[in-house]
């Protein structure tokens, strides 16, 4: 029935309804009696902790702050569209909203990867600084404009872990021949290191790792990894998450649907996305610590750091991949210029603030 209802709405521009007959909705309208019924598709499994539940929280905020004038129904990955078709579905106006990670859309726009996470890049706090106050969000919206989309930061897990492996990684040579679930630029880095990157939605990672279709998988961090049961599919758990130091998640809105909203509902969408962005970072800070303790006490799991020489080689290859990307794609070059400048500026401050403080606290 869900699919039948969905197909019936395909071809409608953003499937937006104004339920009050006493008003005429229009761009820039501030009238308070217009009502909208939207749909949001996601790349996450239904109610998946942290990621999927953040979408539920987002739609709750929208409904409550709007007094019920903006209601949004959530569809998890595969319920209306496959996980990796979220971008296209929202772009076409098949649905009004989507939630996922921008590096999944590298096939549509290579520069999108910078707005999720890149290897050895910005942390969660730095990403927020760049996006909200460093020009990043303006570049993101410029990139998505040809696709009829308006993006908003809507979540961040904080620095992730390096992933689960069915064998130890003691040297760079151990990466050769490794089949690993790893998206984005991190996957291209693994390829240069001699491995084979595999792009899988979260719902398929456990099965692929357990049955040997892949040899390793990075997903998120202890909180989500335990929820997905990955500790039951592989023994070795490596850190740090060089590939995703501060992955931003996105809420994308079809531009036609966005422009049909009155100003107050536009403001509510922006504020709700920013609230979820903050909520998720706080949740993962708390839940990752709890889940890591559980893993450290599990005798079937070994929590290990990547050897320094492995990280050094991965960093070298990461820069090589990024340099190739910006050489062939002008928009990536433009985004990288802004990103790199902000990172250099932030590095100086982090050295005398976060780095210095944590070193002092640990001593």
**CATH code for the domain of 179:** 3.40.190.10
Q: In what order do the strands lie in the sheet with 149-156?
A: 70-75, 36-42, 97-101, 248-254, 149-156
Whether residues 66 and 189 fall in one domain: no
Domain count, the chain: 2
Residues of the chain with pLDDT under 70: 1-32
> What CATH number is attached to the domain comprising 6?
3.40.190.170
pLDDT of residue 33: 83
Which alpha helices (H) appear in the chain, and where do they start and end?
2-9, 52-65, 86-92, 124-133, 136-144, 184-192, 202-210, 222-227, 255-260, 263-296, 308-328, 330-352, 354-362
Q: Report the distance separating Cα 340 and Cα 333, nearest Å.
A: 10
Quick check: is 291 in a domain?
no
pLDDT of residue 207: 97
Q: Report the distance separating Cα 16 and Cα 316, nearest Å.
A: 48
Quick check: is 139 in a domain?
yes
Whether residues 68 and 180 fall in one domain: no
- Two tokens, residue 328: 């062939």
pTM over 0.85: yes
Whether residues 137 and 165 fall in one domain: no
Q: Report the distance separating Cα 251 and Cα 272, nearest Å.
A: 10
Q: For the segment 201-234, what is each residue's pLDDT rounded down to a tens digit?
A: 988 999 999 999 999 999 999 999 999 999 999 9
pLDDT of residue 30: 57
Whether residues 150 and 255 fall in one domain: yes
């Amino acid at each position: 029935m869900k699919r039948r209802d969905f197909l019936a709405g395909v071809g409608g521009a953003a499937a937006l309804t104004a339920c009050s007959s006493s008003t005429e909705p229009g761009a820039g309208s501030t009238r308070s009696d217009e009502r909208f019924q939207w749909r949001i598709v996601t790349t996450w499994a239904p109610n998946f902790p942290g990621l999927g539940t953040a979408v539920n929280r987002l739609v709750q905020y929208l409904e409550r702050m709007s007094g019920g004038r903006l209601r949004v129904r959530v569809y998890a990955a595969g319920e209306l569209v496959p996980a990796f078709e979220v971008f296209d579905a929202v772009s076409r106006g098949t649905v009004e909203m989507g939630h996922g990670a921008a590096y999944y859309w590298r096939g549509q726009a290579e520069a999108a990867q910078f707005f999720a996470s890149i290897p050895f890049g910005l942390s969660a706090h730095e990403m927020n600084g760049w996006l909200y106050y460093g020009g990043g969000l303006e570049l993101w919206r410029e990139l998505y404009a040809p696709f009829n989309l308006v993006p908003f930061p809507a979540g961040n897990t904080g620095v992730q872990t390096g992933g689960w492996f069915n064998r130890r990684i003691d040297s760079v040579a151990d990466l050769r021949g490794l089949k690993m679930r790893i998206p984005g630029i991190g996957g291209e880095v693994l390829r240069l290191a001699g491995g084979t990157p595999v792009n899988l939605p979260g719902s398929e990672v456990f099965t692929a790792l357990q049955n040997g279709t892949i040899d390793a998988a990075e997903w998120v961090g202890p909180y989500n990894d335990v929820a997905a049961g990955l500790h039951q599919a592989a023994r070795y758990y490596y850190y740090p998450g060089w590939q995703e130091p501060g992955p931003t998640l996105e809420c994308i809105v079809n531009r036609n649907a966005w422009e049909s909203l009155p100003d107050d509902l536009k403001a509510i969408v922006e504020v709700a996305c920013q609230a979820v962005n903050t909520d998720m970072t706080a949740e993962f800070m708390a839940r990752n610590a709890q889940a890591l303790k559980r893993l450290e006490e599990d005798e079937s799991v070994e929590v290990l750091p990547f050897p320094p020489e492995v990280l050094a080689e991965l960093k070298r290859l990461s820069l090589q991949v990024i340099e190739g990307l910006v050489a062939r794609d002008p928009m990536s070059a433009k985004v990288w210029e802004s990103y790199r400048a902000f990172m250099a500026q932030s590095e100086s401050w982090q050295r005398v603030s976060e780095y210095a403080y944590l070193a002092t606290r640990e001593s």
